Amino acid sequence: MAGFLFRDYTFSAHAPDGNTLVDAFCEEFYYGRASDEFQHLYEMGAVDLGSEDFREHE
């Protein structure tokens, strides 16, 4: 979901990965990853994104 919501945004990170998206989502919507609300609403599975997935495609 975070990937879809932030598809048109850039990220400034040395080595962005899936956690970069989740962190941006939590910051935008005022969640703590360990909060009861976040744990209740979202299920975290394996995030299979690496730095190469954040490069601009032509």
pLDDT digits (tens, 9 = 90+) for 14-54: 888 888 888 888 998 888 888 998 889 888 877 777 777 77
pLDDT of residue 14: 81
pLDDT at 49: 75
**Would you state the pLDDT for residue 50?**
75
Whether the Cβ atoms of residue 21 and residue 4 lie closer than 8 Å to each other:
no
Residue type, 18: G
C-alpha 58/C-alpha 45 separation (Å) is: 30
Q: Which residues contact 11 (CB under 8 A, 6 or more apart)?
A: 20, 21, 24, 54
